[in-house]
Structure formats: C-alpha cells, structure tokens
Structure 1
C-alpha cells in the first residue's frame, strides 16, 4: 500500500493563506451586500424563477458571508471549501446562463460563468489539500489518520 504524505514548507503555507484571502475577498463582501440588501437579493433571486427566494437568499448569505469567513480564517477548511464549491456549482448556471441572455449581456455573463468555474477549482483545491499551517485548522496539532490536518 502506498502512503502519500504532504510536504509542507513556509512557502506553501503563505501561498495557501494568500489563496484563502483572495477567495474570501470575492465571497465575504458579496455575502455582506446580500445581507444588508436582503430584500433586493430576494427580488433578484425571485426574478430568476428560483423557488423559495427568501430561503435561497438566506443560504446565499450564510454561504458567502459565513462560510467565506470560515474559509478566510481556515476553520474546517476542507468541508467549508467543499460546501462552497457545491454552492457555486449550483448557482452558476442559474445566475450566469450566458447562453440564455440577450447578446448585449452574453460576454459579461460568460465571463462570470467562467470565473465561477475557476472559483470552484480553487475551492476544490482547498477541499483536497486544506488551509495550510497559517490557519485555525493548522493550529490544531492532533493527527488524523496519520496525517497532520491542513
């Protein structure tokens, strides 16, 4: 049986921290804007034909703001990043369906769609490899399955 270990050095940890900050920079302000403009968020979601727009708006705020902050600080990073990746995968074709918008909106919606695919990729990277040692997860020193949690 092959055992895989992850080699850590300070550069990996700094890059993971920068990655978490940059991804959180996209989600946290967006989640805050949805929270303070909740009525408008509900209206926008409803305009896309999504059922239960109030519930969906609350889920969006919890994901973008709540999970975004957890990702920023690196707490339960693997699960948080996976949940965020699923959220983005679900909402992307609903809100950035560039194939179904007027031509004047197509380029912007396609850019947003593709940006979200990249965000999913980054989130899946954190789901796979964790937050690094410069995180709340990295501060925990318990060993899980023979590997240091990241």
Structure 2
C-alpha cells in the first residue's frame, strides 16, 4: 500500500506539470509553421502556380484560395500556438493543412523524408518506393561529381551527403503533434488559454 501511495503522490505532482509537454510541442511547431507560412506568402504567385498547375504541380482547384488559407493557417497559427492562444481551434486548420500536404505532396514518395535504402521502410517491408531504392545510386553519382568538381572535404565537413526523398515522415509527425494540441490544448500554466479560462471561471 505504501508503494501505491507513493506512486499516487508522484503522479499527482506530475499532473501539475502537464503543461510542459504541450509547451515543448508548441515551441517546436511554431517556428516550423511560421517559416512555412512566410515562405508561401513571400512567394505567393509561384506557390499559386505550383498549387494549380496539373503538369508540374499539384493540380488543385482554387489555388489562390488554398494558398491563402494554408499560408494564413501556418503563419498566423504558428504565432498563436507559440503563445498558446486559441490553441485547440488553431490546431484544427493546421491539422487539415498537414493532412493535405501529406496526401497530395508527400504520400507518393513513401514514408522516408530522407532517402535511406538501408531502412526497413524502404526495403519492401513498408512503403516500397523505387525512388528510395535508387537513392544509393543517386548518392554515389553526387559524391563522384562533388569529388571531381567541388571541395568534397569542406562540403561534407558537417555530415555526409544525403538524398532527399520527400516522403510523408515529417508531415505525419507534425500532424500527430498538432492532433495532441487539439486534444490537450495549450497546457496548464504555460499558455494564454489557461489563464483566460481561469479568469472566466472566476467571473462566472
């Protein structure tokens, strides 16, 4: 019984800190969304072209509207989740944006964001994708070109050459994190939402 009581006390203390995990999620996601939204806004015309063109882009209907909605959700929503204001409501359009990005842009490339032919996600077990399986050949070609024409040691001083696969890995990761915010909100003690709700309760 002593152990159960001690465990219950620990859980009770941890519950008082349950706003910290959502704070970390918000701090992680905010710059990602703000940057993505700003990139769309600052390159609005070219982004609209990519959204709407069926030959070399996504071929989506109403590209101007979709770009405006996506950019607004990411840019404004990024700042709002940073301070934890309207977190649950803001997280909904962000989740929709990530779902659309995952299905229309990244899904056709499989799971991996960075191509790794050694990964079990790329060996035919899950998400078989020929582009990933060709990654090693592409990487060797890039290395040969860089060794011949570039300063290879300097170019790889921070890490080895990698090949982008552009799979759903990052988009799904962000989607899962945003869904957590939908259900948990901004967090106790760490968000504007918490203090606004407490003030409203006191006034009721």
| Corresponding residue of 1:30 | 36
| Corresponding residue of 2:194 | 138
TM-score by length of 2: 0.59
| Corresponding residue of 1:82 | 92
Q: 2:184 aligns with which of 84, 106, 129?
A: 129
Q: Does residue 76 of structure 2 align to residue 20 of structure 1?
A: no
Question: Is 1:27–1:68's contact at 8 Å kept on the other side of the alignment?
Answer: yes
TM-score by length of 1: 0.78
Output aligned runs, 1:92-103, within 5 Å.
92-99=102-109, 103=131
Unaligned 5+ runs, structure 2: 1-13, 111-128, 136-162
Number of residue pairs matched by the alignment: 134
How far 1:97 moved relative to its partner? 2.9
SS at match of 1:96: helix
Q: 1:116 aligns with which of 154, 168, 171?
A: 171
Q: 1:66 aligns with which of 76, 95, 108?
A: 76
Question: Is 1:77–1:127's contact at 8 Å kept on the other side of the alignment?
Answer: yes
Change (3 A) 1:8 1:87: same
- Give the aligned CA root-mean-square deviation in angstroms: 2.4
Question: Is 1:78–1:128's contact at 8 Å kept on the other side of the alignment?
Answer: yes
| Corresponding residue of 1:147 | none
Any runs of at least 4 consecutive aligned residues in structure 1 with deviations exceeding 3 A, and if so which?
Answer: 99-102, 104-107
How far 1:91 moved relative to its partner? 2.6
Unaligned 5+ runs, structure 1: 1-6, 144-150
More helix by share: 1
How far 1:107 moved relative to its partner? 6.0
